[in-house]
Amino acid sequence: MIVAVTRAVSPSLAACELTHLPRDPIDVTKAIADHERYEAALRSLGARVVRAPQEPTLPDAVFVEDTALVLDEVAIITRPGAASRRPETKSMATVLSAYKSLRRIKPPGTLDGGDVLRVGRTIYVGLSSRTNKDGRAQLETIVREWGYEVIAVPIDGCLHLKSAVTQVADNLLLINAQWVRPECFASIDIMTVAPSEPAGANALQIGTAVIYPQHHPETAERLERAGVRVVLVPCTELAKAEGGVTCCSLVFEAEP
């Protein structure tokens, strides 16, 4: 069974944390409608959508990816780099405890799930403004028990590692080579985003398909030409909050 944990858009979304984007007005009503279409796309690809409790006073709570890393063997509750986001982890831990045993990142470590890209038994960790070396080291210690290799990856110009690179098929990554160096992933095939769509590297792979923002049509066409099934969703309002399609769910396999 594929589980996708999501959370409703907070009515306070417009007060979200921002690092690399200017603050633009966010239409929260449209963001809510777009998020519902995103959840419908998850269901269309066979996922069981499980909604975490609402957090109306936490603006960024819809971006559940940052609160945890869920592996086959364990769920690791993160410690987000933005202090305002740390309260989001409490309710997420409760949800995930029904499916996995839990481990935690502890102070002074910080780790955002958006900085973590797992490809097979390798876990790439972006060293961003939200994830520090102590957080990466704690993660490495935790996952060593199950034989994962952790590799630190420098990024520049974007919020998270998965703003710059995501997996879109077996042995294929979608990447913005201006934000992360392709040679960091030397053994994996690379596809670059369209030059006019620098934020287009964030795609959510589920099986042989990807959920992808419809406002990056040139990159979507590149994916389709490469044989990737693309399921387009609207997400312009969440993008104003530095969110992408991976940010809005935690997807993992669980016992039915």
CB 251 within 8 A of CB 206: yes
The DSSP element (H or E) to which 140 belongs, if any, is helix 133-143
Question: Is 247 considered catalytic here?
Answer: yes
Of the residues 160, 184, 216, 235, which is catalytic? 160
CA distance 94 to 78: 13
Question: Is 160 considered catalytic here?
Answer: yes
CA-CA distances (angstroms) from residue 64 to 6, 91, 156, 245? 6, 11, 23, 11
CA distance 246 to 244: 6
DSSP code at position 223: H
Three-class SS state of 225: helix
- Label residue 171 exposed, middle or buried (CB < 10 Å: 0-12, 13-18, 19+): exposed
- Label residue 208 exposed, middle or buried (CB < 10 Å: 0-12, 13-18, 19+): exposed
CA distance 86 to 160: 17
Of the residues 16, 158, 184, 247, which is catalytic? 247
Q: Which residues are catalytic?
A: 160, 247
